[in-house]
Amino acid sequence: MDISIWIILIFVFLLIIRTPIAVSLGLTAVFGALLTGRGLNMVSYTIFGGIAKFPLLAIPFFIMAGVIMQKAKMAGKIIEFVRLLVGPIPGGLAIATVIVAAFWGAVSGSGPATVAALGVILIPGMVKSGYDKDFAAAVTSVSSGLAIVIPPSIAFIVYGMIANVSIGTLFAAGIVPGIIMAAALSITVYIISKKRGYQGEEWQGTAEIFQAFKDAFWGFLTPVIILGGIYGGIFTPTEAAAVAVFYGLFVGVFIYKTIDFKTLFKICVDTAATTATVMLVVTSAGLFSWIATNVGLIEKASSYILNLSENPVIILLFINLIILFSGMVIDAISIYYVFLPILLPIIAEMGWDPVWFGVIMTVNLAVGQVTPPVAVNLYVGSNIAGISIEKLAKQAVPLIITAVLVLLLLMYLPEITLFFPRVFGML
């Protein structure tokens, strides 16, 4: 039997017996190396070669920046301002949840981290205001998927490194799609809220809103500093991640005075744990990609997809269906490493812009984060709300449909995605 078939069978078997995805990818690669006679020495060299890359330094820095800003209590201040601003609208608190999740995505760059940071505040707050708990958890979980679309995004960092595409350009390309997704989800939430009779809050007046804005100002300044520095040519995306860490520490220690030495130690521990999890996936997925390339699996898969049809629309739909279904069972980083080597020759053959495709793929994976059976965002939301994943998933369906419709819009109107990169002269 062909070794590439053995690799697929081993990987599928490990997934079926519920082996963690990082372990499944790593073990499959090790078996593949032994089957091909490459040995374990090449495995160790490949591991170090895969992670010793400068752009990957941005991942632990952005993770740490998100943890710092959570511990600095920035989320609560931003939530309070947005709540006062849109609260009087029917379903205003749910709309505020979408807006805050979109903004927090520009801080954390991670969907599950955004659910964790905002859910503990927003879900109880919505329930207290009369919203059903499952609906509150669904809105928070699905809107937090924006975190990997709106820059800065860990997903864009990984895509840019694998596809050899400018990370700054990807960040710029994600701005408009992220805004459109947030707007579409807000409209959906408003319609559902009107239908269910979720009332808005009482108007508090401009003085209260202005005070809330002053309290949240330092938090709002975060993405301005990060993205402004990148597009102003002051620093690279990796350097921007480090700047975000020091800025967050400055605000937490000297402005809000919510971070002390004990909190700083906890920040370091949380950052190390999250980074280790992410980098284990990066390492294992990179190893799997290496062995799949060496046994010819990548080339065979690319040829198969290209031979499906001569119509680029059919091929694009097929690819997006594969990514969507894969996103239901595998995490986003693993999907980049497993599928991008297969897809890059197809992107070149079809003449598609790799920046546009990177955004399409990332939006697709954002949908996957909230689509069962895996749906990491939903699992975090269900744990916070104390409800079953099934109950939460049912409430998430209209929001997921909205996200899929936005994905289709972006697929067939590439100019939406490429607008800002062209404005900034990046294309």
Supply φ then ψ for residue 18, to 5 degrees.
65, 35
How far apart, in whole angstroms, are the C-alpha atoms of residue 184 and residue 197? 20
The pLDDT value given to residue 209: 86
Mean pLDDT value across residues 242-259: 91
The pTM for the full model equals 0.86
CA 252 to chain centre: 25
pLDDT at 337 over 80: yes
Q: How confident is the model at residue 355 (pLDDT cuts 50, 70, 90)?
A: very high
- pLDDT (average), residues 274-297: 85
What would the mean pLDDT of 221-247 be, rounded to a whole number? 86
CA torsion sign for 401, 407, 411, 416 is positive
Note the pLDDT of residue 1.
61
Secondary structure (DSSP) of 9-75: HHHHHHHHTT--HHHHHHHHHHHHHHHTT-HHHHHHHHHHHHH--GGGGHHHHHHHHHHHHHHTTHH
Give the domain ranges of the chain.
Answer: 3-423
How many helices and strands, by DSSP H and E, does the chain display? 20, 0
- Each residue's pLDDT tens digit, 365-420: 888 878 876 677 887 888 888 888 888 888 999 999 999 999 999 999 999 999 99
What is the average pLDDT value for the chain, to the nearest integer?
Answer: 86
Q: What is the 3-state secondary structure (H, E, C) of 106-139?
A: HHHCCHHHHHHHHHHHHHHHHHHCCCCHHHHHHH
pLDDT tens-digit readout, 61-114: 888 888 888 888 887 888 888 888 887 888 888 898 898 888 877 666 667 777
**CA–CA distance from 326 to each of 83, 303, 330, 344 (Å)?**
36, 19, 6, 17
With a cut of 80, say whether residue 200 has pLDDT above it.
Answer: no
Per-residue confidence (pLDDT) for residue 353, from 0 to 100: 95
Predicted pLDDT of residue 323: 87
Which is more confident, 426 or 350? 350
pLDDT value at position 25? Answer: 87
Nearest CA to 368 out of 396, 395, 342, 390 is that of: 396
The pLDDT of residue 230 is above 70: yes
Spatial distance between the Cα atoms of 141 and 389, rounded to a whole number of angstroms: 11
